[in-house]
Structure formats: structure tokens, C-alpha cells
Structure 1
């Protein structure tokens, strides 16, 4: 699935291939990387899709009586659904970026968003889909499956599901919309994002509470305006924070329930705890995040007492322990944040294993260490063509499940064409079996090395240095 974007913030034009398992955004500050990451999140997040596609009584009755049903999907309706969702996202960019609605025209009137597949390609991909997935929605569990060469979707309920009125209402107004979302944006089932503000979300979640801010805004408007319908306020979106931050706060407010869930990627979380944090991140029954160091396991530190690396990585650890599912897209803004170079390299290798276990990644980075380690993982993946690399890769500690295939990877450089340019170009970076180069990082490092060498030799040889 390729998306094309024009005139979004600093970005003049960009085309991103979300079919790749790893997309890397590179470039100077203020070039639009975060804006594009937010947009990708909005397009791919399951929880942000609209509801309202009514499931017919026939299918509801089958699910209630037999716990299973089969629905034939009309491809043209699925195609129209995706087009409508993209249009809805465009119309609500003000909400995504926390801009006042009356300023939307000023900031986003020229923005264009498009998914580049043709209908024929979309239809072919849908026909070839072959999958079986367990989906959890609003606390309800389903298995959704599709067989190749058919247009039918099979839905199976958990046999222990309580079929009360709330559940029946969910079936009617939400289930079909969620099925459409999964199919229309396949193979990405849903996405989660870790913005740079992630190290503050758990620290200040109570102060930044979405629920509290919603109440405050309602009271404020009701007290200042006499002629206002309270129901309009109830359904009015909260735009105090950008959507990724709002969603992160909602997760933080629901940790007491989240910690009861278990993810198939739990072991990756424990590896991060062992190799990077040297301790354990836990969630109490009250939903508070605590950390205990391996050096003092009986001492429980509250989140605000913990080190910066714990604050930065805890949200990822909790996601991998409790929420991650196969075919999720994980978007991380600056994964190197607060990490020593050694830990940046370790985290990059964990990312590679996650990718090879079904998680997709979009990262934006300024880290030469992450870029170099990605290059190493691409190079060691050539062991089939270069048997002499096998022993060397083992000697260096690289495992086969860390290899990154070149076809699964894409990198992009965000940059201004020249000093007078007002918008950035987003250019695919050439990548081969040796990896890729980021010219903005390389030039900075070369300039720094040149200055260091000149100063060193001037100090060493004094007047004799030329």
C-alpha cells in the first residue's frame, strides 16, 4: 500500500510504501518527519476509523446462535470505504494535529492525500488475501479469516462470550466497520505510535488526563455560552493535544485493564527489560507504572523516580507485553531518545527480530548508530549469496532472525532543496546490499572529523602545521 501526500506542513510532496516492513525517515529537524508519521498513524490506526456500517440481522442471529457467520464482501464497497476514510482524515487534519477547526483552511486547504493503488490492483490483492486473525475490539474477541480466491469473510466468536445488549449493539453498529477497516488497509491491521512526548505521558498522565480536560472544556463552554446544546459538547473532539498524544493518554488512563492482557510479543518486552533497562517495568492493579532495578529488585520506584531510559522505553515495553498483535504497524519518533549508543544498537537488533516476527515499523531517526546497524543487518542478510559471511556474522553475534532483507526495507531523506526553498522534498534513499547512506548525517560527521583533525594537528605541530 503506497500513499502519496502533497502540501502537508513543510512537505511539498512524498510517496511512502507502507508495504515495506521497515520504513526509515531521515533528515534535519523541522522537515516534516513527525507530520508524516502522524498522518500515517491516522490512516492505519484501527481505533480511528469511523463506525456506522450496519450488520444485517441475519448475520447477527447466526453469530448469536452458532458463534460463527460468513459475509460476502463486495469489493467496490470496500474500495469506496477506503476512499471515504482517506477523505474523512483529510477533512479532520485539524483534529489530528490539534489545530483550531476555524484555522483548518489556513493550514490544510492545499493538502492532498491519496492511496496509489488502482481498483484493479486493490481487487486482485483482496482476492489473494489468505489469513486467520484473532481480533480484540472493545473487550470482545473474534477470529476473522479469509480463504484465497474467495470474497467471503468468516467471523467466529469466542464461545464464552456473554451476549448481552451491549454486545448485540456492538455487533450491529461496529463489527462490520472494523472488518472493512482490516480488509481495506490490509496487511496493516492497526497501528500504534510512540511520539517524542512518550517519556512524559506516564509521568503526567493524571495532570494531562483526557477525561479531566474534556470535563474542563465542557464546563468552560457551558458557563460562557447560554445558547449551547450540551450534547454538541459531548460529541465535540478534544483538540488540546494532537491525536497520537491523546491516544497515548487514553492508554495510560486504562493501564489497570491493559495489564491483564497478554501479547504474543511478551518475550521481546522482557528482552528490552533485561538488555537495556536492567530491571522490570510493572503495572500495579491501580494502573500505576513502577520500575525495579535488577540491582535492587525489592525496591519499587514510581515512574517519575525512574531514569530517563525507563521513561522513554516503558510505553514500548507495556505495548509489547499487553497490546501488540501480528501485522501491527509501530511508529516510533526518534527511537534513540535518551539511549546510550550501545543501547541504540541493541534496540535496532530487537526491531529487526520484531519485523521478522510480523510487526511492521516506521521510525524517524537522527542516529548514525541506528543507521549503521541497519546497514549491518542488511549486509549480513547476504550470507546465502556470500557463504564467507556466515562465520563472520556468527563471530559478531548476529543471529539469522535479525537479518533484514533488502526488499523489506525503504529509507527516505527529508530535506530542503536549497536555502531559499520553503518546502521539503521527500526523496527515497538508494539502498543496496551494503545498506544506505544518509547524506545529511555523513556530511555532519565528515565536517566534525575535519575540524577535529585540524585542531589536533595544529596542537601537535604548532607553527609547522599547514
Structure 2
């Protein structure tokens, strides 16, 4: 699936293939990487609607082959229009800021629609129905048979009870009892909607503001509570108009990704009761990078216990910047991560020494190999080079296996180049960068490294030789 934005912030036009498992957004500052990443987060908060209408179209053609491509396109167009109307809320900005903005979703290669069409066992569990071959038995008297036809076509058959008690094929829409006709379009629509996994996956976002969120979330929540109390008092004393004026004057608005982070930060005591099956990734970050353990206090606040100071628990504002930067990611992997989710991480290199930048790249690649999707924006040459190492070793062979062992790379973090998408944000657009078995090059970063090396060489040549 391709996601395209136009006239959004500094972006004139940017299109990214969201089907990749690891997406790297890079480029100079102020070129729209955060605008784009936050748009993806907002997109996933805009679920598809109108599937019942599509279900009617599917059932109207029962017994014949149906081309799903235009129906799928209708779903995507509905989502794009709905999110375009939500841009103001997503970015907490005036509506006129998005007067010229445009959102578009499309699928170029629809072959996968047939390949993954109608996962019957999964659908049967959702509907409490029985499955027999390609048929879902909805009631004793009615079944729907769904057959894939490449590319992106489907044959849909409605089977009803015949006079002799057996099921007859292709009774068509007219043969469906009237009391069931009202419910079947919704069922058929949900069958198609079950393929829209991009819009049902979870999404967690780690913005560049995560350090401030970790430190000030409680204080911000207290200020909000004070504001609510003041509004309620004014509403009683002077009326709703004055209370609304107080809200307009004093209430701060936050973009959706910041709201998300604040909600998690203020509910940690409750969320920490859960344990994720991916908690070992949290432990890896703690042992390999932080040198201590991140925990949640009884008051729902993050604390840190350094390995070298047994028994000491530091409040998060007293910890090193690397702890502040990665504590929320540790909490996520230990308590919230479910797999098959999208992680959006703005500059994972924040406050990390080069060796730790390489280590966090490995952890994120390992998450990708567990089924997560990861979208990161980065300026770090160390992260880019480490990802290139993982890509170079990502094609299985006797030689890559030997080299990975000799160089200390866990095979669980190696990644195939076809799973990686890289985009250079520059001059109002996003240009795809080729990813092959040697990795990828980011010209803006490579050029600056060449310039720095050139200056160093000249200074040594003229001053010290």
C-alpha cells in the first residue's frame, strides 16, 4: 500500500510504500519527516468505514467472479478522505493550515489480495461460524463460499438449503431469506475488511518529545485537572460561555502522537500489570545500553536502578539522558508489545553514544523479524551503517552465517534487503533510495562525511606536516 501526502507542512508531495517492514526516513532538518510519520500514525487512527456498502456489491454479484481491486480502492479512498478531514486534530493546528493538503492511498500490486484472500479459519473464529473447505457456515440453512481467483478476483457463492435438505449451489441473492438479507451485507463487508490489516494493527509512537513526556506527564495531567475544576466552577457561577472562554484561553492542545505518549505515561501503573512476550527486548536494551533496570513505581512513575548501585532507584529526571530517551521504549517492550504492530520512532539515536546507536539498530531489526513494523527517522550515520551490516548479512548462506558468528551478530537481527524501504526527504519531496544486498547510501550524510574528512586532511597537511 502506498501512502501519499501533498502540501502538508514543508512537503509538496511525498509517497512511501508502507508494505515494507522497516522504513527509514532520512534527510536534512525541516524537510517533513515528522509530518509524514505523524500522518501515518493519524492514518491508523482512522478506521475504514462503509464496508457494508461494499458487502452489498459483493453479494449482488454472487456466483460470479468479482474484481476486488476497485472495491479495495473504494475502501482506501474512504479512509484517505476521512483522515484528510482529521488533519487539524492530528496535528493540533488551525484548519486553514491544511486547506491545500491532500491524502491518497492506493495499491499497485493487487496479487497479494488473492494470495491472502479470505483467511477462513480466522474469519470463522470472529463470527463463531463453522468452516468446511472454502465455505463458512453462517447458519444451518445458509453458507457463503469464497474462492480466490488470481489476480485480485474472487468467486462468491451463497449456498442455501434445498427442498431435499441438501445445500444447493449458487442460489443467488434472491434465494436468501429476507430476514438474513439485512445482515449479510455487513458480514460480507467485514470479510473484505478483514484483509485491511494495516488499519487494524496497533501503533505506538515514540516522538522526539518523549524525554519531556517522561519527565512532565504527571505535572501536565495535574494542570489539566486544575483547569477542569476551574471550568466547572465558572460554569456554575457565570455560565457556560465564560467557562468555554477559559478553555480557549488556557487549554493547550497536543498532536495525536503526543497525546498518545501522555496517555501511556499517565497510565503506567495500570499498564505495568501486563507482561509482554517481547519483554526480553526490554531486558536487552537495559543490559546492553542502559546498564540498569527501568521500573514503574507504586505511584505510576518511571524509575531506574543502575546495576552498579544496588538498591538505588532513581526518579527518571535524575537519570542519564540515554535512560530518559529509551525508558518509554523499554516500558513498551516489557508491558505493551503484542507483535504485528507499527512502531514509529523519531530519531532513535537521541542522546546515544555511537556504540549504543549501533545496538539500538540491532534491537529494532530484531523486532522487525518478530513481526513488528518499524518506521524510524534518523540522521545517524552509525545507525545507517549498522543497518547496512544487518542487510549485507541478511541473505542466508554459509559465508554470511560464518561472518555473522565471527563478528558477533545475532542471526535474529539480520534482515533481507527486500524488507527495507528508505526515503530521502529533501526539497519538499521524498525520494526512494535503492536498497540492495550491500545496503543503501544516504547522499546528504555521505557528502558531509566527505567534507569533514577533506577539511581534516587539509588542516593536518598544512599545519602539522
Given the two structures, how large is their TM-score scaled by the length of structure 1?
0.75
CA shift in 2, pair 1:273/1:119, >3 Å: closer
Number of the residue aligned with 1:427: 431
CA distance in 2, matches of 1:259, 1:452: 50
CA distance in 1, matches of 2:237, 2:430: 45
Conserved in 2, the CA contact under 8 Å of 1:82 and 1:184?
no
Conserved in 1, the CA contact under 8 Å of 2:390 and 2:414?
yes
Q: 1:441-465: per-residue Cα shift (whole Å, max 9, x none)?
A: 001111011011100111123xxxx
1:51 deviates by: 9.5
Number of the residue aligned with 1:173: none
Number of the residue aligned with 1:330: 343
How large is the Cα RMSD of the aligned pairs? 3.9
1:311 deviates by: 0.6
1:240 deviates by: 1.2
Residue of structure 1 aligned with 2:98, choices 103, 108, 121: 108
Q: What does residue range 327-366 of structure 1 map to in structure 2 within 5 Å?
A: 327-366=340-379
Number of the residue aligned with 2:11: 11
Could you tell me which runs of 5 or more consecutive residues in structure 1 were left unpaired when the two chains were aligned. 55-74, 136-141, 155-175, 417-423, 462-466
Q: 1:188-219: per-residue Cα shift (whole Å, max 9, x none)?
A: 61211000000111210122228537727955
Number of the residue aligned with 2:206: 194
CA shift in 2, pair 1:34/1:124, >3 Å: same
1:120 deviates by: 6.5
SS at match of 2:462: helix
CA shift in 2, pair 1:449/1:327, >3 Å: same
1:309 deviates by: 0.8
CA distance in 2, matches of 1:193, 1:286: 23
CA distance in 1, matches of 2:193, 2:309: 46
CA shift in 2, pair 1:444/1:90, >3 Å: same
Q: What does residue range 380-459 of structure 1 map to in structure 2 within 5 Å?
A: 380-384=393-397, 387-416=398-427, 424-459=428-463
CA shift in 2, pair 1:217/1:459, >3 Å: farther
CA shift in 2, pair 1:405/1:151, >3 Å: farther
Q: What does residue range 71-110 of structure 1 map to in structure 2 within 5 Å?
A: 82-99=76-93, 103-105=94-96, 107-110=97-100
Number of the residue aligned with 1:309: 322
CA shift in 2, pair 1:432/1:144, >3 Å: farther
Conserved in 1, the CA contact under 8 Å of 2:47 and 2:200?
no
Q: 1:247-285: per-residue Cα shift (whole Å, max 9, x none)?
A: 111111111110001111111001111111110001123
Number of the residue aligned with 1:168: none
CA shift in 2, pair 1:213/1:112, >3 Å: farther
CA shift in 2, pair 1:409/1:53, >3 Å: closer
Could you tell me which runs of 5 or more consecutive residues in structure 2 were left unpaired when the two chains were aligned. 53-67, 139-187
- The size of the alignment, in residue pairs, is 395
Q: 1:146-198: per-residue Cα shift (whole Å, max 9, x none)?
A: 989969699xxxxxxxxxxxxxxxxxxxxx99999764343861211000000
CA distance in 2, matches of 1:153, 1:218: 55
Residue of structure 1 aligned with 2:387, choices 354, 371, 374: 374
CA shift in 2, pair 1:43/1:280, >3 Å: same
CA distance in 2, matches of 1:254, 1:311: 18
1:319 deviates by: 0.6
Conserved in 2, the CA contact under 8 Å of 1:4 and 1:16?
yes
1:296 deviates by: 1.0
CA shift in 2, pair 1:404/1:123, >3 Å: closer
CA distance in 2, matches of 1:109, 1:399: 49
Q: Which moved more, 1:3-12 or 1:20-29?
A: 3-12
Residue of structure 2 aligned with 1:252, choices 238, 243, 265: 265
Conserved in 2, the CA contact under 8 Å of 1:182 and 1:189?
no
